[in-house]
Amino acid sequence: MTKHQGLGALDRRSFLARVALGGAALTAGLPARALLAAGKAPDKINVAFFVETKPTMIAKGEGWFEKLSGGKINWSEVGSGAEINTAITAGSVDIGLAIGSSPTAAGIAQGLPYQLIGMVDNIGPAEEMVVRKSANIKSPADFKGKKVATAFGSTSHFRVLGFLKTNGLTEKDVTVLDLKPDAAVAAWSRGDIDAGYYWSPAKAKMLEGGGDYFPTSKKLDAAGYVIADLIVCRTAFSKEYPDAVTGFLRAYRDALAMFKTKPADAAAIVAKQAGVAPEVAKRDMDEYDFVTFERQLTEDWLGPPGKAGKFASVLKSTADFLVTQKSIRTAPGLEVFQQAINTTFMAQAAKA
């Protein structure tokens, strides 16, 4: 904030002109903070995040989010996407970092006041079914009478329900238990559950504790049960502070670049942030597909500004499925999901 106030003394217009002429010098790092001073910078940005092993943690740990968005960030840790939905609706969170696609689809369907401004990862096999070796589960039919734990409302839960549905099973055949990851690990170690659908570290711990993968992700992705982690932003906030939002995404883009070019350094930073060993951070991150901004901006994912890509259909089908599960009341048409995707900030962030 001090720099911002300092700039007030300058004639803003001539400053802007110089900035525009500055061109290359600017990208070389004359800091985005100065750039942002041109627009309005927020005093405070309330960001909800998960403690997890992802490149987003690089930008958080290194302070890039604050530097490039130009606002003091008030971080609040959450345990589920549902909490982000509630907090954004209440206006106490501006940006939700790495919220799952199923809570996002639900939120858009319910008309929550936010937009999807970017994607962190395509989850793919990073969330997967782990079965206890001794439970002798070899085929989907073997799940009958077994206990499967997952965190309800999460992307993993969405996959479990998709798995049951695509295999002609119901919740009468398979007992699906609602357990938070830490409770699931405890239940797993006691032998109370036969299978669990989670992400790491819970997934890794189950694999270590006598578990085997029961691969479902490829088939489910093909059947339309794609799951992803996303970045959502309160619409009123992005309208008021577009530059801060762009800067925020730029920070993540830089983190992503570091993750791809210097994986070892990246893993070390992420590990410190998440409180795990660097090898664990590296292994976890290798499971996710962290989609580059360039790819996100294509038709295959979010699409270029004003022309929502295929991901809108993923959100739509996710929401439709949630309606059949009675998690949400109704789902609007595809166009609502298309309109909820706003990649203008991402396109800006990808440029400079």
Partner 1 sequence: MSAPFESSGREDAALGPRGTALTAGRLWRWLGDFRITLASLGILLFLWCVLTVGGLVNELFLPGPALLWDGVLDLIENGYRSRTIWEHAGLSLERVLAGFGTGAVAGTLLGLAMGASRQIEAFFSPLVEFFRPLPQLAYLVLLVVWFGIEETAQIILLFLTALPVSAIAARDGVRSVSLQRLQAARSLGASQWQVFRHVVFPSALPEIFTGARLAIGVVYATLIAAEIIAGSTGLGWMILDAGRFLRSDYVFAGIIAIGIAGLLLDRLLLIIERRIVHWAGKD
Total residues in contact with partner 1, by rule CB under 8 A: 32
Give the three-class secondary structure for 99: strand
The answer to whether 106 contacts partner 1 (rule: CB under 8 A) is yes
Stretch that binds partner 1, among 137-145, 219-227, 270-278, 327-335 (CB under 8 A): 327-335
Stretch that binds partner 1, among 46-54, 164-172, 200-208, 233-241 (CB under 8 A): 164-172
Output 69 or 102, the one with its CB closest to partner 1.
102
Output 154 or 216, the one with its CB closest to partner 1.
154
The answer to whether 112 contacts partner 1 (rule: CB under 8 A) is yes
Amino acid at site 143: F
Output 36 or 331, the one with its CB closest to partner 1.
331
The answer to whether 152 contacts partner 1 (rule: CB under 8 A) is yes
Stretch that binds partner 1, among 58-66, 103-111, 231-239, 331-339 (CB under 8 A): 103-111
**Residue 115: closest CA among 90, 95, 86:** 95
The answer to whether 7 contacts partner 1 (rule: CB under 8 A) is no
Output 176 or 269, the one with its CB closest to partner 1.
176
Residue 281 buriedness (CB in 10 A; 0-12 / 13-18 / 19+): buried
Contacting partner 1 (CB under 8 A), which of 74, 76, 110, 166? 110
Residue 212: HSE in the Cβ half-sphere, 13 Å Cα cutoff: 9
**Residue 121: closest CA among 215, 57, 204:** 57
How many other C-beta atoms lie within 10 A of the C-beta of residue 50?
A: 22
Contacting partner 1 (CB under 8 A), which of 17, 18, 72, 178? 178
Stretch that binds partner 1, among 48-56, 196-204, 220-228, 322-330 (CB under 8 A): 322-330
The answer to whether 130 contacts partner 1 (rule: CB under 8 A) is no
DSSP string, 255-299: HHHHHHH-HHHHHHHHHHHHTS-HHHHHHHHHHSB---HHHHTST
Q: How far, in Å, CA of 95 to CA of 113, rounded?
A: 11
Contacting partner 1 (CB under 8 A), which of 89, 166, 167, 313? 89
How many other C-beta atoms lie within 10 A of the C-beta of residue 344?
A: 16
Output 80 or 167, the one with its CB closest to partner 1.
80
Contacting partner 1 (CB under 8 A), which of 179, 255, 258, 302? 179
Contacting partner 1 (CB under 8 A), which of 96, 103, 140, 201? 103
**Residue 131: closest CA among 215, 70, 11, 55:** 215
User: Could you say which residues in the range 182-211 bind partner 1, by CB under 8 A?
Assistant: 182-183, 186-187, 189-190, 192-193
The answer to whether 78 contacts partner 1 (rule: CB under 8 A) is no
Output 112 or 131, the one with its CB closest to partner 1.
112
Give the three-class secondary structure for 177: strand
CB of 123 to partner 1, least distance (A): 19
Rounded to 10°, the helix 263-274/278-287 angle is 110
Quote the Cα angle for 26-28-30, to 5°.
50
Strands of 6-56, DSSP E: 44-49
The answer to whether 330 contacts partner 1 (rule: CB under 8 A) is no
The answer to whether 343 contacts partner 1 (rule: CB under 8 A) is no
Q: Which residues pair with 148 in a beta bridge?
A: 176, 195
Token pair belonging to 240: 């008021």
Summarize as ranges the residues that interact with partner 1 (CB under 8 A).
80, 82, 85-86, 89, 103, 106, 110, 112, 152-153, 170-172, 175-179, 182-183, 186-187, 189-190, 192-193, 322, 326-329
